[in-house]
Amino acid sequence: MTFQHYKQEVLALTMRWVRRLSREKFSMLFTLVQPMLFWLIFFGSLFQRAANIQILDAPNYMSFLAGGVVVMTVLNNGLAGGVDLLFDKENGFLERMMSTPIHRSSVILSRYLFVMAITGMQILVILSIAFVFGVRLETGLPGIAVILAIGMLFGVGLTAISMGIAFSVKSHGDFFSLLGFLSLPMIFLSSALVPLSAMPGWMQVVAMVNPMTWVIDAVRPLIITGWDAAIPQVALAFLILAIFDAVCLYGGAKAFRRAIG
Amino acid sequence: MMDPAVVIDVARLRKTFGPVTAIEDLSFTVHAGEIFGLLGPNGAGKSTTLRILITVLPPSAGTATVLGHDVVTEADTVRSLIGYVPQERAVDRFLTGREHLELLGGLYHLSRTETQARIAELLKLVDLEEHADRVAKTYSGGMKRKLDIACGLLPNPKIVFLDEPTLGLDVQSRLRIWDYIRRLREQGITIVMTTNYLEEADQLCDRLAIIDGGTIRVIGSPLELKTGLGGDSLALTIKDHETEKLPRLRDGVMALPLVRDVRINPTGLDVLVESPEKSLPAVIEVAQRLDCSLDGIEYHRPRLDDVFVAHTGHGLRGGTPDAAEE
Ligand SMILES: Nc1ncnc2c1ncn2[C@@H]1O[C@H](COP(=O)(O)OP(=O)(O)OP(=O)(O)O)[C@@H](O)[C@H]1O
Ligand SMILES: [Mg+2]
């Protein structure tokens, strides 16, 4: 096992995901456009008037929402990231890959790299659309780099959860049920759509233990406030994500080893 | 060290899935350059055995070595020496045939030029050159199977594992795949395959193990297995009104040198013989001498079906509840 070999495997496997995507152009377009269309534009316009700017602490609802939509995109992509491996497991393709002399982790790494490359592009699209709607990033281009870094770091844990589920469930029906069960509460019980201060007490408590909240609270000041407010939040988010990723990777690796041997 | 001719050594292998015992206690060896078959009905444990040998499934007990390497502790070495063709058509619908092979080239760490050379060679071997750049979802079942086989051969393996290589194929494709498999043997590649087609086992395998309910019932070459049943037999049918002469005829036939055993049945005699060519005239002569009028004589050479029934107590089809398909 040399690094050269590892690189070759990961590259070959990543190419497979890219080629598959290029065969599904319609799905690619839909994947890229869906989050900003649905959440940013619809929700942003829908709640613009209803939202109380004082509570939001933001110039308008769209700029408040942008950070939430960025993190939601990471969440959805990360959690769905394992599904293709689930199909591979079901139709025997995974077994074929596992019968080759590859390092067991390269399948997973390739999937992570691919999902995060797509997610990164989506984040850029979301921020561009927000820009068109008048949202100006207070921290500029370096802020975008930090947002991407936070997203990628959050993605590690989420992809690990997703693959953990993929390798544990009996069928892809179970996978999708579990996914829906996880992702909606994670969105609504976080600061994605409304600030914590606008939530009932019990919800605030739940939202506080939701890693989503901490990630969003780091991304949001990068967009609407500026570096001074953002830096402590970003540092805290990195710390929380380090713990979150470690826990998810541990669980994911266990599920993977149980399924693959 | 072990006998150099032994390339796979399986000892007391066992695999359970929770309450289900997929394989009970398997031991066998595979020799270099042979086509070794695992023949058995659905659910016999064939695929499970193969999965353990290709290192994707850990055994519950027992050991297996491939080319001298343990499938558990030296899995990575084993993987680099073997090729695998799974039972399901494990293809990615969105990739072309060529892209499948390129992917595997990367996974087996072949260089770019090596991969391209192998791909050209294999596409030719399995007759997929024309379809190499179409996505696999447009392939027919037989084309997918050929692609599967090409994928299994890409790493230029010393041993190829084929799980039901011709399941669900038409007669022509089946014959062609038999042909590929024989050609592989000519190149010195050892082949381990599973099948639940008797004919396939009989025609193709140098040696085979009949496996049923997770245990091996008998191992040998198809010929050995068939002669092990007692060799060839003659069935004499006697005219209806003369059946009372049967005991005398039996004694007369039994006295012949090449006859091993004789049994009376309602319409005549079953005679187990060593050589049908030599015993047939002698048997007819005895019948004439004893003034028995024969209705007919049938010559019967045991088939693998008979071997299967003799060792498992049931036919290959109908032995298990899910054997109704076909
Ligand atoms: N992953 C698994 N989990 C639970 N049981 C399994 C698993 N894989 C195989 N089995 C069981 O082990 C037994 C042997 O299965 P196996 O797939 O090895 O049979 P086979 O001889 O290949 O049959 P077929 O001709 O249908 O392919 C069956 O009873 C099967 O249900
Ligand atoms: Mg099988």
Tens digits of per-residue pLDDT, B22-70? Answer: 999 999 999 999 999 999 989 999 999 999 999 999 999 999 999 999 9
What digits encode the pLDDT tens for the residues B169-204? 888 888 988 998 999 999 999 999 999 888 899 999
Q: How far apart are CA B21 and CA B16, in angstroms?
A: 4
Among chain B residues, CA nearest to A21: B94
Phi (first) and psi of residue B218, to 5 degrees: -165, 150
Residue with tokens 């073997």: B82
CA of B195 to the centre of ligand 2 (A): 8
Q: How confident is the model at residue A133 (pLDDT cuts 50, 70, 90)?
A: confident
B262 against A56, higher pLDDT: B262
Task: Tally Cβ neighbours within 10 Å of residue A222.
Answer: 27
Residue A261 is predicted with a pLDDT of 59
Length of chain B: 326
- For residue A47, what pLDDT is reported? 73
Q: Which residues contact A189 (CB under 8 A, 6 or more apart)?
A: A203, A206, A207, A210, A212
Rounded to an integer, the average pLDDT of A67-90 is: 91
B/e letters for B153-163, b = 16+ CB within 10 Å, e = fewer, are bbbebbbbbbb
Among residues A161, A111, A130, which one has the least CA distance to residue A9?
A111
Specify the pLDDT at position A35. 66
Sign of CA dihedral A74, A79, A84, A85: positive
pLDDT score at A136: 87
ipTM of the complex: 0.88
HSE (side-chain half, CA atoms, 13 Å) at B266 = 0
Task: Report the C-alpha gap between A74 and A237 in whole angstroms.
Answer: 15
Contacts of A101 in chain B (CB under 8 A): 76-77, 79-80, 107-109
- The closest CB to that of B106, out of A1, A11, A98, belongs to A11
Which residue, among A21, A90, A96, would best test binding to B if mutated, counting the most B CBs under 10 Å from its CB?
A96
pLDDT at A23 over 50: yes
User: Does residue B1 register a pLDDT over 50?
Assistant: no
Nearest to B110 by CA among A103, A9, A111: A9
Residue B56 beta carbon below 6 angstroms from any ligand 1 atom:
no
Choose the most confident range, by mean pLDDT, from A64-68, B43-47, B142-146: B43-47
Residues B107, A92: C-beta atoms closer than 8 Å:
no
Model-level pTM?
Answer: 0.84
Residue B260 amino acid letter = R
Task: Please tell me if residue B247 touches chain A, with a CB cutoff of 8 Å.
Answer: no
Distance (Å, rounded) from C-alpha A222 to C-alpha A67? 9
Question: Using alpha carbons only, how large is chain B's radius of gyration in Å?
Answer: 25
Average pLDDT over chain A, rounded to an integer: 89
Percent of chain B topping pLDDT 70: 95
pLDDT, tens digit, 9 for 90 and up, residues B251-298: 988 888 888 888 888 888 888 887 777 888 888 889 888 888 888 888
How many helices and strands in chain B, by DSSP H and E? Answer: 11, 14
What is the largest distance, in Å, between two alpha-carbon atoms of chain A? 59
B300 burial type by CB count under 10 A (0-12 exposed, 13-18 middle, 19+ buried): middle
Put simply, the answer to whether B103 touches A13 (Cβ < 8 Å) is yes
Closest residue on chain B to A20 (Cα): B94
- Contact between A99 and B56 using a beta-carbon 8 Å cutoff: yes
Tokens 């004919």 map to which residue?
Answer: B199
Average pLDDT of the segment spanning B239-258: 86
pLDDT above 90: percentage of residues in chain A? 53
The Cα A195–Cα A191 span in angstroms is 5
The pairing of beta strand B35-39 with beta strand B190-195: parallel
B173: CA distance to ligand 2 center in Å?
A: 20
* DSSP assignment string, B270-317: EEEES-HHHHHHHHHHHHHHTTPPEEEEEEE---HHHHHHHHHSS-SS
Which tens digit of pLDDT belongs to each residue from A217-229? 999 999 999 999 9
Whole-number pLDDT of residue B318: 46
Nearest CA in chain A to B154: A100
d(CA B125, CA B137): 21
Whose CA is closest to B37, among B191, B146, B173?
A: B191
Mean pLDDT of A75-87: 90
| pLDDT at residue A24, as a whole number | 81
From A44-58, A148-162, B84-98, the region with the lowest mean pLDDT: A44-58
Which ligand lies nearest the alpha carbon of B86?
2
Judge whether residue B324 has pLDDT over 60.
Answer: no
Q: How far apart are CA B58 and CA B49, in angstroms?
A: 10
More confident residue, B310 or A55: B310
Is residue A99 within 8 Å of B54, Cβ to Cβ? yes
Average pLDDT, chain B: 88
**Predicted local distance difference test score (pLDDT) of residue B320:** 40
**Tens of pLDDT along A168-212?**
988 888 998 988 888 889 998 999 888 888 889 899 999 999 999
Band of pLDDT at residue B4, cut at 50, 70 and 90:
low
Lowest mean pLDDT among A23-27, B30-34, B102-106: A23-27
Spatial separation of the C-alpha atoms in residues B182 and B179, rounded to whole Å: 5
Taking alpha carbons only, the member of A166, A161, A204 closest to residue A182 is A161
Residues of B in contact with A3 (CB under 8 A): none
- Residue burial A238-254, b: 16+ Cβ < 10 Å; e: rest: bebbeebbeebbebbbe
Residue B193, token pair as written in the block = 């395959």
Dihedral of the CA atoms B226, B229, B230, B231 (nearest 10)? -20
Q: Among residues of chain A, what percentage have pLDDT more than 70? A: 95
User: Which of these, B84, B325, B310, B302, lies nearest to B212 by C-alpha position?
Assistant: B310
* Choice among B87-91, B206-210, B285-289 with the minimum mean pLDDT: B87-91
Closest ligand, as measured to the CA of B326 = 1
What residue type is B175 in one-letter code?
Answer: L
Evaluated on CA atoms A90, A95, A97, A98, the torsion sign reads positive
Q: Which residues are B264's β-sheet partners?
A: B269
**Cα–Cα distance for residue pair A2/B269, rounded to 1 Å:** 71
Condensed to tens digits (0 to 9), the pLDDT of residues B109-125 reads 999 999 999 999 999 98
The tokens 């444990």 sit on which residue?
B45
The pLDDT of residue B317: 62
Task: Check if the beta carbon of residue B29 is closer than 8 Å to that of residue B10.
Answer: yes
